[in-house]
A and B are shown apart, each in its own frame.
Chain A
Amino acid sequence: MTELVATTPGLFPLPDWAKDELSDLKGHQKGDLIAGDEGPEVVDAYDRARTEVVDAQVDAGLDRIVEGQLRWDDMLAHPLTIHENVETGGIVRYYDNNNFYRDPQVRGELTPSGDVAAELEAVGADAPQAVLPGPYSLADLATDEYYGDEADFLDAVADFLAGEVGSFPAHETLFLLEPSLVENPPDDDTDERASAAIDRVAGATDADVVVHTYWGAVPEKTYAHLMDADVDAIGFDFVTETEDALYNINEYGTKEQVALGLVDGGNTLVESPETIRDRVEWVDERTHTDFDRAYITSNTELFYLPVNKFEDKLRALGDAAALAEVDA
């Protein structure tokens, strides 16, 4: 029987009061964004906002609690844009969205910073889940001005992320978000290296590691290599695309655990718990694997949503897992 675990990939919208308060405290320009050295008033505002989104997850009955990544002004590029050896360039488009982040230009060695570990320390809830960009996506979002070689740079980013994970407090699960595996997949020579990089980051924790992919399915060759990484689950976006994801699972197999992106992180239409449960069954009927555990989650980060719909979606995920448990 499959254990259903309700969770999210993190990167939440700021509560509306925090949008206003932090806009006033920080400003609206490129140079006003988080650099990792924010003053006490800004720290305090984020602390209060973090408490609010942690409570919202607990109240919604989620089985894993994320920090919310509310400080991540540059979304998945955050771990680099705050780094002392990284300069931020112009504002660039965040994948295929009407969102933008500062181009992280790596100009020195990527030594561990401890920034994300400090956030995770502040969560103070049971069953914390850490969230990081996967090494392939983080390297893809950045500009290398130091390592000089694409392969060396990917390795350096993987070592950097492994170092960050090494300083994390105890956590139940680590989600590595890898949308670039779909949006800008590795070429034939890089497939294996991308998988090895993920493996290296995953090796830095004893927690369960989920490599979550979204905005479609990864190409089959990339997927086949991804299966070589020693991770506990691969995450699939069943909102954007179903056939290719099913094909990958049925053709190449998948891990004993799985993450199912069943709730649309980019649309305000709120799925009912029954709809989510139906989707779990739909996937189950079409795959030949008996999963030990299925993480049920939104396909993407949730910062695309207004706060009321974001909270509704958390509740729907929590309720869906509870419903299924009763039914089982």
Chain B
Amino acid sequence: MSNREQFRPGDHPNEHFLLTSIVGSYPKPKWLNRAADLADDPESKFTDDHVHEAHDDACRVIVDEHERTGLDTVSDGEMRRNEMVEFFADRIDGYEFNGPVKVWGHNYFDKPSVVDDVEYGESWLVEEFEFTNAAASKPVKVPITGPYTLASWSFNEAYDDDADLSYALADLVNEEIEALVEAGARYIQIDEPALATTPDDHAIVGECLDRIVANIPDEVRIGLHVCYGDYSRIYPELLEYPIDEFDVELCNGDYEQIDVFTDPEFTTDLALGVVDVHTTDVESVEEIKENIKEGFKIVPPERLTVSPDCGVKLLPREVARQKIENMVTATREVEAELDAGEIDLGPEVSAD
């Protein structure tokens, strides 16, 4: 029995149900960034307490914005997180920060160093989840940066190799997910963008995932998000991963890689990116419906989740909102057309 039905809203209008979701990040309201800057400025009267209050407010606003688009599962858009590695490294014992390093041009990130055995220090996401869950009327999805990415995007001073560091971090991710599940979380997404950079390490990611899901109940939905890679280098190996859902961007590449996932048969659920996060052009509902149908080349409707390609934080907020709203509208229309038998699924993936 799939664990996806638990996310079907009570008032869902169609027989078919394509789960709609987000990948994670969402544009921060300008005032939130301004509040954070002010708290750093000793001349201003803003304090950390004010920033905390601003984070709470932003979280409520974004959850509400997600709900108004009609999404089936929502998040706080990572309002409290600065960057996908820094945020976690800051909370894990064994990491230290030495300063920014270049990514490209004048874009930098505070790449941390692992200088000692990594250990679970303070809680990572439970508080964020509990607040978001209380603010939301829909189920909340929790994205967590995966251990392989946390290891790859750090300097490793303490472990023999990045695989050993990844496994140690995977045990901590497992501990965090147990705490999240205890707090009520039912939908977790592991983000492993570093796998796209070094696809030959797919077995390390597999071993990490085995550790991550150890003792996590089956009703907890575990997704894996990877983006902007050459998937022929990790397929079909990824089918061995102990996950419920593989989340991938393909809209940006105009679905050129869709065939990669059709042979051999795709055996897990697919979460397919249907709007491009690297263009501010808002895709029309009609266009997105065609993108959703690309997913039926890989899985039948009952195994398709619909999401943006990746986190949408780099888009202007209104563009992000419109893209997600159109995405949900398109999904509901596709469901209705499926109900009416108006979509030919082809012989391979007919819904039985």
Contacts and interface: CB of A to CB of B under 8 A. Distances in A.
A268 B102 contact: no
Interface string A72-109: 01000000000000000001011010111100000000
A93 B198 CA distance: 12
B102 A303 contact: yes
B148 to A, nearest CB: 13
**By CB atoms of chain B within 10 A, which of A22, A26, A267, A269 has the most?**
A269
Secondary structure class of chain B's binding surface, majority of residues = mixed
Contact of B102 (A13, A96, A267, A309): A13
A52 to B, nearest CB: 15
A275 interface: no
Given A98-B153, A268-B155, A22 B98 contact: no
Interface string B40-62: 00000000000000000000000
Given A96-B197, A306-B99, A306-B100, A19 B106 contact: yes
A33 interface: yes
B113 interface: yes
A48 interface: no
A286 interface: no
A26 B194 CA distance: 29
Given A16-B99, A304-B101, A308-B99, A93 B108 contact: no
Contact of B106 (A23, A268, A305, A308): A23
A33 B105 CA distance: 6
B340 interface: no
A307 B105 contact: no
Interface residues of A, number: 33
Interface string A267-282: 1110000000000000
Nearest to A18: B106
A30 interface: yes
A27 interface: yes
Secondary structure class of chain A's binding surface, majority of residues = loop
Interface in B59-114: 98-108, 111, 113
A267 B107 contact: no
Contacts of B106: 19, 22-23, 26-28, 32-33, 73
A27 B295 CA distance: 38
Contacts of A266: 155
A73 B105 contact: yes
B103 to A, nearest CB: 6
A99 B198 contact: no
A91 to B, nearest CB: 6
A118 to B, nearest CB: 21
A305 B258 CA distance: 38
Contact of B98 (A33, A93, A309): A309
B101 A13 contact: yes
A16 B157 contact: no
Contacts of B111: 306
A16 B100 contact: yes
Contact of A269 (B100, B153, B155): B155
A33 B113 CA distance: 28
Given A19-B100, A307-B99, A30 B105 contact: yes
B157 to A, nearest CB: 4
A305 B105 contact: no
A308 B97 CA distance: 11
Interface in A1-47: 13-14, 16, 19, 22-23, 26-30, 32-33
Contacts of B156: 267
Interface in A297-327: 303-309
Nearest to A33: B105
Interface in A187-239: none
A96 B153 contact: no
A51 B184 CA distance: 57
Nearest to B149: A98
A22 B105 CA distance: 10
B198 A96 contact: yes
Interface in B151-176: 152-153, 155-157
B101 A305 contact: yes
B100 A99 contact: no
Contacts of A269: 113, 155, 157
B104 A91 contact: yes
Given A268-B98, A308-B98, A100 B157 contact: no
Contacts of A14: 102
A93 B155 contact: no
Contact of B105 (A32, A98, A268, A304): A32
Contact of B104 (A16, A96, A99, A307): A99
Contacts of B102: 13-14, 99, 303-304
Nearest to A93: B197
B105 A306 contact: no
A28 B152 CA distance: 24
A227 to B, nearest CB: 31
Interface in B204-248: none
B182 to A, nearest CB: 34
Interface of A: 13-14, 16, 19, 22-23, 26-30, 32-33, 73, 91, 93-94, 96, 98-101, 266-269, 303-309
Interface of B: 98-108, 111, 113, 152-153, 155-157, 194, 197-198
12 contacts: A30-B105, A33-B106, A94-B104, A99-B102, A100-B103, A267-B156, A268-B98, A268-B113, A269-B155, A305-B101, A306-B99, A308-B98
Given A22-B106, A98-B197, A306-B100, 8 more contacts: A23-B106, A28-B105, A33-B105, A91-B104, A267-B155, A268-B155, A305-B101, A306-B98
* Smallest CB-CB A-B distances: 5 pairs: A306-B99, A100-B104, A306-B98, A269-B157, A23-B106
